[in-house]
Structure 1
Amino acid sequence: MHIVIAGGGEIGSQIAKAIHKDHDVVVVDTNPEVKERLGNLDVQIVTGSITDPEMLREAKVDLCDTFIATTNWDEVNLIACMLAKGLGAKETLCFVGKQTYMDILTDPRTVELLGARIDQVFWPQRSLAREIVEVIRVPGAVDTETLAGGRLRFVEYQVREGGPYAGKELALLDWPDGSFMAGILREGRFMAVTDPGFSSLTLEPEDRIFFMTTPTGFDAIQACFAPKGRVRRVMVVGGGNVGYIVAQELLRVRLEVTIIDHDPDRCAWLAEQLPGALVLEGDGTDLELLEAEGLEHVDAIVAVTENDEKNLLVSLLAKQVGVQKVVTRVNRGENRRLFEHVGIDIPLTPRAAAVREVVDWLSPENVDHLALFEDKVELLEFELPGNFREIPFENLQLPRGAVAVALERGTKVYLRSPQLAVTAGDKLLVLTDRQVSNAVLEQIT
């Protein structure tokens, strides 16, 4: 496919990195530094405005299958998509950062007026907020995904220094029924349970462990990693779009929520929209304010301002006073490793969700990109074709760093088992290192 990405910033660059091996990609941006930043990718760079028809023609928008507008300016993205459609782009994908635009563009009346000028709208902040809420609701977990209509749950835990699993040999660990331990992530490398030598590994602090579970298995595995019970009190620092959605969703499941923002007008709006929350005007990095509002008694803190430095400071203060779960928004992807290096357990970025949504949109119809963990490990779902020959799970050959973890068959789900075979029509779930995901796609599809 010929794909034009309008905007070579944070999101545009990551999308280009994710798809350039499989598609003919052109990136359009006014910043000449984009050419240097993406110089190691097999992409064409056009330097110029994405709202200039001549620049779009140079990028061969008239021949493109998909046009993706990813700049930080909603209005620019909207105009670019309409221009691209007018020039002949087959489909246009538009990123927005404001809820008002999301509401307008998904309103049936707007869709009727605009026709098919914008085919899909993405709002990364909402995806990030929902991811945060899922993580908050599962004590001890670093990440979690609900799958197959709630019949399966994927969950990621971190091995803690001094915890019950640090220093334990994997071969000696017996996990609860209804759970399947799929592999671990260590220093950026995913090792699947089916890889040679895996069982002889010893768990180390900071290792990430991945499980696929049934609902009952999920409760049992939770008891292994979070015996203290569920989160009840949450403090949210930053009342922007992400903070608002997080607070709204947490209130919906009856958690106690305190939200702090520095803008008095925003606080007044939040208090009106979130009557069940305690809304405070102030600086989220003010330790006296945090302590006065009971920081040491909250079960989780969420730092989601638009300033990475402030989010980092809030998170470090929370860690210092012993908050058990600290979830931090990372606006600039290059800062993620820094956050992890200084001990922030759950740094999340809007771009991860954005990239996953776009890659899923561009994938073949029988392939779904269900989740991305730590930007390193991907959970894929394949609907096996009609000519797929039945084969036992244990005989399914996948590249090193990939493992089939479960399958859906009609209304039933099954965890990986030596007694189970996969066959045509099944939906097969595979956890894979991103570096070998293309090889998995080629092998199964």
Structure 2
Amino acid sequence: MNITIIGAGEVGYHIASRLSRENNDVVLIDKSADRIKYVFENLDVKTIHGSGSSPNILKEAGIESSDMLIAVADSDEINMMACLFANMLSPHTIKIARIRNPEFLGNPRIFSPDFLNIHLIINPEVEVVKTVLRLMEVPGASDVIDFAEGKVKLVGIKVLATSPMAGLKLRELDKKGLNHEILIAAIVRGNQMIIPRGEDTIMSNDLVYVVTEKKKTPRVLKLFGKKGEPVHRVLIIGGGSIGTTLATELEKRHIHVKIIEKDTERCTYLAEQLEKTVVLEGDGTDQALLQEENVQDMDFVMSATGDQENNVLISLLAQGLGARKTITRIDKFSYIPLASTIGLDIIVSPRLSAVSTILQYTRRGRILSVVPLKGEDAEAIEVLAMETSDIVGSPLRKIKFPKGAIIAAIVRKDEVIIPSGESVIAPQDRIIIFSSKESVPEVEKALMVKLEYF
């Protein structure tokens, strides 16, 4: 497949890296010579130095033969112009664009087939807010991902030393009668991602990914010693796009919200736009201000400023002052493992959200969704079982499946099955698979389906 990518920032780079590894022909365009040089030296893709909004540059990239255009430059205008010219030069090309400006997003006719003809619009900030809201629905979790229209939840839980599950071998779940209710799909220990087996032990400070039915999520949290208390009070640091959108959504849920924003004009705007949120002018890194606003009584503190170093500092301060849970906005992919290592509760990343959404859209055929996890070290894959696949019709214990992957759940119509060795997959079952990055090609082979594209 031929794919043209506009923008060699972190999102463009990681998408190009992923797609090129999967044997696609990728052309990456950026007007920064330094970025192009870095991509040329590190990825097996064609690079072009220039603006993606230039018709001549698009022609040089071979847009007429391109199956897909992914416009993720830093500028909304460049992304839109790239799609406009791509539509004129190659109407058949599928177009995906990252658009952040609310003024553009508020006029959807711009993106209609009659004009720009953009097939998918990505707003990373909105995707982050969706992630935060999912987390707040499952208090006590560090990560929450939905599959099969929400029937199945993949819940990431940080294991405390006091947790009843700390020190437990996975084979002991059977003795507790839990094997048919939950499945431990993965364990993140430091910087290591483990696809566990029966002899593996859950340890203090592990981040454990648990697969379960939606209705059993409260029981899962209780098993790990987590209190699923409802959210009543949230403090947001940073009144930008993420902070404003989150506050608006929380108001609809009747949650008491405060926002701290240091820009006077922005505070005035927030006070006019938000109905019930308390808007405070100040610096979120000011410990005295956090104490004055009773940070210790907050169910969640969200650090959502545009400065990720400040976000880390704010979250550490809030945790030290007694906040129940912190959520930290991190933009750089390389910071994500580090932020987890220093003890931050929950990390959200607009850029990772953008990569995840784009990859999900590009998949086709029997692959229903693919979600990168822990940066990009692992993937949760939802796939439709094909009648011709080797994994259909035999007990799982008899199937040779990649060591770095695990079948975490089977959805058969409205029934959710947490599989055991005796479980049998039927054609048209929806299967949720957890796999290390290295094992994905072997998973493809076992499923007899390629992670193909439009």
Fold equivalence (TM over 0.5): yes
Higher mean displacement: 57-66 or 243-252: 243-252
For structure 1, the residue ranges without an aligned partner over 5 or more in a row are: none
Inter-CA distance 424–292: structure 2 relative to 1 (3 Å threshold):
same
Q: Residue 205 of structure 1 corresponds to which residue in structure 2?
A: 204
Distance (Å, rounded) in 2 between the aligned partners of 1:160 and 1:384: 37
Deviation, 1:110, is: 5.4
Q: Residue 337 of structure 1 corresponds to which residue in structure 2?
A: 337
Query: Does the residue aligned with 2:112 lie in a helix, a strand or coil?
Result: helix
Distance (Å, rounded) in 1 between the aligned partners of 2:352 and 2:153: 20
Inter-CA distance 110–343: structure 2 relative to 1 (3 Å threshold):
closer
Q: Residue 73 of structure 1 corresponds to which residue in structure 2?
A: 75
Q: Residue 53 of structure 2 corresponds to which residue in structure 1?
A: 51
Higher mean displacement: 33-42 or 77-86: 33-42
Deviation, 1:266, is: 2.5
Query: Does the residue aligned with 2:106 lie in a helix, a strand or coil?
Result: helix
* In the alignment, structure 1 residue 33 sits paired with structure 2 residue 41: no
Amino acid aligned to 1:155: V
Contact 1:175 1:221 in 2 (8 A): no
Amino acid aligned to 2:30: D
Inter-CA distance 187–396: structure 2 relative to 1 (3 Å threshold):
farther
Q: Residue 364 of structure 2 corresponds to which residue in structure 1?
A: 364
* In the alignment, structure 1 residue 427 sits paired with structure 2 residue 430: yes
Q: Residue 452 of structure 2 corresponds to which residue in structure 1?
A: none
Distance (Å, rounded) in 1 between the aligned partners of 2:27 and 2:130: 31
Inter-CA distance 276–175: structure 2 relative to 1 (3 Å threshold):
farther
Deviation, 1:84, is: 1.8
Higher mean displacement: 200-209 or 376-385: 200-209
Counterpart among 391, 394, 397 of residue 394 in structure 2? 391
**TM-score w.r.t. structure 1 length?**
0.92
Query: Does the residue aligned with 1:260 lie in a helix, a strand or coil?
Result: strand
How many pairs does the alignment contain? 438
Distance (Å, rounded) in 1 between the aligned partners of 2:45 and 2:193: 27
For structure 2, the residue ranges without an aligned partner over 5 or more in a row are: 450-454
Deviation, 1:79, is: 0.6
Distance (Å, rounded) in 2 between the aligned partners of 1:209 and 1:63: 44
Deviation, 1:78, is: 0.5
Query: Does the residue aligned with 1:200 lie in a helix, a strand or coil?
Result: coil
Contact 2:296 2:324 in 1 (8 A): no
Deviation, 1:63, is: 1.2
Query: Does the residue aligned with 1:42 lie in a helix, a strand or coil?
Result: coil
Deviation, 1:414, is: 1.9
Distance (Å, rounded) in 2 between the aligned partners of 1:86 and 1:175: 61
Distance (Å, rounded) in 2 between the aligned partners of 1:175 and 1:222: 16
Distance (Å, rounded) in 2 between the aligned partners of 1:175 and 1:6: 52
Counterpart among 86, 92, 97 of residue 84 in structure 1? 86
Inter-CA distance 340–92: structure 2 relative to 1 (3 Å threshold):
same
Q: Residue 355 of structure 1 corresponds to which residue in structure 2?
A: 355
Distance (Å, rounded) in 2 between the aligned partners of 1:241 and 1:100: 12
Inter-CA distance 151–436: structure 2 relative to 1 (3 Å threshold):
same
Amino acid aligned to 1:10: E
Distance (Å, rounded) in 1 between the aligned partners of 2:293 and 2:116: 50
Query: Does the residue aligned with 2:53 lie in a helix, a strand or coil?
Result: coil
Amino acid aligned to 2:42: N
1:21-77: CA deviation from partner (whole Å, max 9, x where unpaired): 221011111122224433232111111121222222221112111011101110111
Inter-CA distance 371–30: structure 2 relative to 1 (3 Å threshold):
same
* In the alignment, structure 1 residue 103 sits paired with structure 2 residue 102: no
Q: Residue 400 of structure 1 corresponds to which residue in structure 2?
A: 403
Contact 1:98 1:241 in 2 (8 A): no
Distance (Å, rounded) in 2 between the aligned partners of 1:175 and 1:336: 35
Deviation, 1:162, is: 5.1
Inter-CA distance 372–307: structure 2 relative to 1 (3 Å threshold):
same
Query: Does the residue aligned with 1:17 lie in a helix, a strand or coil?
Result: helix
Distance (Å, rounded) in 1 between the aligned partners of 2:165 and 2:34: 46
Distance (Å, rounded) in 1 between the aligned partners of 2:106 and 2:62: 31
Distance (Å, rounded) in 1 between the aligned partners of 2:307 and 2:370: 29
Distance (Å, rounded) in 1 between the aligned partners of 2:163 and 2:182: 20
Query: Does the residue aligned with 1:170 lie in a helix, a strand or coil?
Result: coil
Higher mean displacement: 171-180 or 52-61: 171-180
Distance (Å, rounded) in 2 between the aligned partners of 1:115 and 1:351: 24
Contact 1:369 1:378 in 2 (8 A): no
Amino acid aligned to 2:11: I
Amino acid aligned to 1:29: D
Distance (Å, rounded) in 2 between the aligned partners of 1:36 and 1:346: 34
Amino acid aligned to 1:268: T
Deviation, 1:281, is: 1.8
Amino acid aligned to 2:12: G
Deviation, 1:362, is: 1.7
RMSD between aligned alpha carbons? 2.1
1:272-302: CA deviation from partner (whole Å, max 9, x where unpaired): 3321222212211122211111111112100
Query: Does the residue aligned with 1:351 lie in a helix, a strand or coil?
Result: helix
Contact 1:14 1:351 in 2 (8 A): no
Deviation, 1:161, is: 4.4
Deviation, 1:367, is: 0.5
Distance (Å, rounded) in 2 between the aligned partners of 1:234 and 1:28: 41
Query: Does the residue aligned with 2:334 lie in a helix, a strand or coil?
Result: helix
Distance (Å, rounded) in 1 between the aligned partners of 2:216 and 2:427: 27
Contact 2:84 2:115 in 1 (8 A): no
